[in-house]
Structure 1
Amino acid sequence: MKMSIKRITALIISLSLIFVFSSWAQQGRGRGRIHGTVKDEAGNPLEGVKIVAQHLKYNTTFESRSDKKGKWAIAGLGTGYFRITATKEGYAPVYHEMKVSQFSRNNPPIHFTLKKIQVRSLNSPAIEDEASLAIFEEGNNLFDQGKYQEAIPKFEEFLSKNPTLFHVHINLGNCYRELGDYEQALKHYQIVLDKVKETSGSYEGSEVAARALASMGHVYIKQGDLTKAREYLKQAVDIFPQDETLAFNVAEIYFKERQIDEAIKYYQLAIKIKPDWAPPYRQLGYAYLNKGDYRPAVENLKKFIELAPDDPQAETIRNLIPKLEELIKK
């Protein structure tokens, strides 16, 4: 009986590792689905917003548009890290980076809020509205097409006209990252961090700084340096602990490196931020299994099944739970 449990437990843990790091299968395509909403600053739904999801390794892109209720969805995604960008003429574009799983129907929803671009006034050096927006949109379109070298001068031109919008250095860094020029990519992400420090005094609570740090982490993921990737993603979570996907990504790296206690800490943070998101419960269950702590393992695996009863791993987990409960009784 014990041998059977060990074998099943080992199988589950192996499956979890495959799940965590099967990011590059099928050239970015698969059965994954993401969805969300787009609203303006007043909370009104925005129709016709272009949503682009780009696989950060293979550059495979998927596109959708928001409907009258501001809702959008994209299907056919593989497992891996994606950048999801929302753009609409007259609004400042925004993006979100996250890990998508094609094996889960519970990828977290992404809710965008777009801000109207203001025409420059005497007291506020904002952007040159339509002209600058067109330049930025062109840069984004070139990036979405994988034309990173051509996108760079567009983002540089935009910054020359709008130097206060320093977060666009992240866009430049992303171009260099996809070109494999990691030194230049890190340089631009660092500019963002320096500007945040200069204007705010610290990174604490800054979503822009968190995105820059997360982008640095993704550079190191592409280089295969999980130790440094974890370091930067952890910093991103620590300064902006409202992003469940950042916390989850840090936990995944700790789990892969067999630092189980640290993995547990960040899975729990992801759950605290978004209690109805299923994947952290499953991974937390696997983490406790790894430690031989069957009771919390069962509790979290049951919660996972409750939230994601149709997940491909749900049946295997259902079969495992009674055997773990028998061990708890002994």
Structure 2
Amino acid sequence: MRKAVFFVTLILLASTFVLSQAYRGKGKVKGYVFDEEGNPLGEVKVKLYSLKAQSGFETVTDADGRWNAYWIRGGTWNIDFEKIGYKPKKMSAEIKEWSKNPDMEIKMEKIEGSVITEELKENLRRGNELFNEEKYEEALESYKSIIEEFPDAYIIHKNIGNCYFQMEKYDLAEEYYRKVLEKDSSNNEVMLLIGNTYAMS
């Protein structure tokens, strides 16, 4: 019986690995992100999602506002750009595997009236560190302090939802994920996260 369970577990793990790698291919794409004054934007989260593979990954821009994605399959990709204090940017692109893809130049607009303080940046960095250390209640405090100071940073609700999910408080996780959808109704990642809460409830 134990051998059978072990075998089934191996199959599930293998299936998960194949699914997570389904977006891989021969293509590559790169881009540049800048603000309204033409200045490069670093630390922009770039999320790439393959519609054909139903999977994806994320990267971030460097200090010069540049990002790269290698070994990805061809087809339609949804690409999201997120940075606290700036309006999220979305685009769809047809990626080719056997020919050069044009560089993507993305301009992000600052949210009117927003001020990104060093304290806010520190709270985000600290929250991420605590989350990675599995100190979810402490991470919650950092993330919630960001929302209190900067209500327009709605994407932080996803971080809060992730904390509640890890704490097995799935109803609260769903509640905060849905706060993201209220502002960004086509956020595929958050839709998947909500689906995960249903599966665990």
When the two structures are superposed, what TM-score results if normalisation uses the length of structure 2?
0.51
Q: Is the 8 A contact 1:64 1:74 kept in 2?
A: no
Q: Is the 8 A contact 1:189 1:215 kept in 2?
A: no
Tell me the CA shift for residue 189 of structure 1: 2.8
CA gap of 1:64–1:192, structure 2 versus 1, over 3 A, is: closer
1:185 aligns with 2:159: no
1:161 aligns with 2:149: yes
Tell me the CA shift for residue 49 of structure 1: 3.8
Counterpart Cα distance in 2 of 1:170 and 1:131: 20
Among candidates 128, 149, 152, match of residue 140 of structure 2: 152
Among candidates 158, 166, 171, match of residue 159 of structure 2: 171
Counterpart Cα distance in 2 of 1:155 and 1:49: 18
1:72 aligns with 2:46: no
Counterpart Cα distance in 2 of 1:159 and 1:188: 12
Among candidates 30, 39, 52, match of residue 35 of structure 1: 30
1:209 aligns with 2:179: no
Tell me the CA shift for residue 187 of structure 1: 0.5
**Superposition map of 1:231-250 within 5 A:** none
Counterpart Cα distance in 1 of 2:179 and 2:67: 33
Tell me the CA shift for residue 38 of structure 1: 0.6
Q: Is the 8 A contact 1:177 1:219 kept in 2?
A: no
CA gap of 1:165–1:45, structure 2 versus 1, over 3 A, is: closer
Counterpart Cα distance in 2 of 1:222 and 1:108: 35
Tell me the CA shift for residue 71 of structure 1: 3.3
Q: Is the 8 A contact 1:127 1:161 kept in 2?
A: no
Q: Is the 8 A contact 1:117 1:129 kept in 2?
A: no
Counterpart secondary structure, 1:210: coil
Counterpart secondary structure, 2:184: helix
Where in structure 2 are there 5+ consecutive unaligned residues? Answer: 1-14, 50-55
Tell me the CA shift for residue 146 of structure 1: 7.8
Counterpart secondary structure, 1:72: strand
Q: Deviations over 1:75-126 (max 9, x none)?
A: 35699x9996655xxx636767999xxx9639997765445578xxxxx6x4
1:46 matched to which residue of 2?
A: 40
Counterpart Cα distance in 2 of 1:181 and 1:108: 44
Q: Is the 8 A contact 1:40 1:46 kept in 2?
A: yes
Counterpart Cα distance in 1 of 2:68 and 2:31: 7
How many residues are aligned here?
172
Q: Is the 8 A contact 2:174 2:197 kept in 1?
A: no
Tell me the CA shift for residue 46 of structure 1: 0.7
Tell me the CA shift for residue 73 of structure 1: 0.3
Q: Output the aligned Cα RMSD.
A: 5.2
CA gap of 1:192–1:85, structure 2 versus 1, over 3 A, is: closer
Q: Is the 8 A contact 2:165 2:197 kept in 1?
A: no
1:219 matched to which residue of 2?
A: 193
Tell me the CA shift for residue 184 of structure 1: 2.0
Counterpart Cα distance in 1 of 2:60 and 2:116: 28
CA gap of 1:142–1:132, structure 2 versus 1, over 3 A, is: same
2:53 matched to which residue of 1?
A: none
Counterpart secondary structure, 1:75: strand
Q: Which amino acid aligns with 1:135?
A: N
